[in-house]
Chains A and B, each alone.
Chain A
């Protein structure tokens, strides 16, 4: 059962307005059967400090990742996770989180690998919900277990691997990291040195558009015209392009993937989740340093 779409005028300008809901929409539909709201944060304890009433927690580090192989959970693992959270295949899943929905967009991208039919982002995420003085709860909801089917992950459409990127050299690519990481001055994201790379720089040909440029001050997505000015005007992308996006481990670039694919309607956008922590450690792959593609 699919919940109604949010008719917020700003969303109607985007290529796929149905991918977003507003805080008002969530407030109105909280508790509706068929809806599960999930919080996905960078900080693993933030949910415990208070979340949207009834929301479940979805953590990338501990739940969406395979604990051994550098990969996401498989079909059986995803089915188990969704079932435990009370999410069925026909559930409308609305994800929100901290930091401009950075990790929420990542969770949405992973859910898309499994083809979850109806998954949306709460525009503005946790910050906007709180800024509007809306209620928070520290109660963990006791949702009845669902029976999510085992659906194998499809990595062929929205995910790129290292060899795919090697074959893609010369075609449009967006590096969404900070300018310092892009140029090679920094081997890690400012303030985040845990995931190292042996070499600094970027994949030849990739343009640098830091991911957070797509977010406004209130953590919502910028209106379509502004996004077009950034990705079309400045970066020169056109919707017909086959685009690969990457960052450090694929989380920030999920946000840009969402913008290009769902908000601007580019049909072919793949997220290279190996990203710089793979490329910058790989032997004999080409690297460009400096602030030019």
Chain B
């Protein structure tokens, strides 16, 4: 089965595909470093964030669907959890600002296309799929409201 990814996500998958073995971890670390900080309205009200317990280290996220149908994503994970931050950074880069429909169409299987299974372990990768699932659920909830 081939799945179509949005162009930004496809770029990320290609980027991971282009670097050999251990360098993929450096790339993941770059996504971790580049994860944008929370805006003040969340940094000061962390209770508004949804916990993602499927990640090995604590991660919190928030989703805002704007009136024009675009969705914005916000993540919070500690510096001591670079893998979880890296997963969040990939999702932020790939999905932030896309339409709700585009995000809902993102297949969870993309996490297995990054070539990280051997380096990170499938179990750890499940955390990223769980983040995506929660983002989708939030979008559906807000659309239904």
Contact = CB atoms under 8 A, between A and B. Distances in A.
Contact of A44 (B58, B124, B126): B124
B86 A192 contact: no
A48 B53 contact: no
A258 to B, nearest CB: 21
A58 to B, nearest CB: 14
B44 to A, nearest CB: 23
Contacts, number: 59
B26 A48 contact: yes
A218 interface: no
A62 B80 contact: no
A142 B54 CA distance: 35
Interface residues of B, number: 28
Main secondary structure of the interface of A (DSSP, over half): loop
B121 interface: yes
Contacts of A59: 121
Interface in B69-122: 79-84, 86, 118-121
Contact of B80 (A44, A46, A191): A46
B54 A46 contact: no
B57 interface: yes
Contacts of B127: 194
Contacts of A195: 123
B82 A48 contact: yes
Contacts of A48: 25-26, 29, 82
B54 A43 contact: no
Contacts of B121: 44, 59, 61-62
B53 A192 contact: yes
A62 B25 contact: no
Contact of A62 (B54, B79, B86, B120): B120
B32 A42 contact: no
Contacts of B25: 44-45, 48
Interface in A38-62: 42-46, 48-49, 59, 61-62
Contact of B28 (A42, A45, A193): A45
A44 B53 contact: no
Contacts of B83: 43-46
B95 to A, nearest CB: 21
A228 interface: no
Given A43-B81, A45-B82, A62 B53 contact: no
A98 interface: yes
18 contacts: A43-B81, A43-B82, A43-B84, A44-B119, A44-B120, A44-B124, A45-B25, A45-B82, A46-B83, A49-B29, A49-B79, A49-B82, A61-B121, A62-B118, A62-B121, A140-B22, A191-B53, A194-B56
Interface of B: 22, 25-26, 28-29, 32, 51, 53-58, 79-84, 86, 118-121, 123-124, 126-127
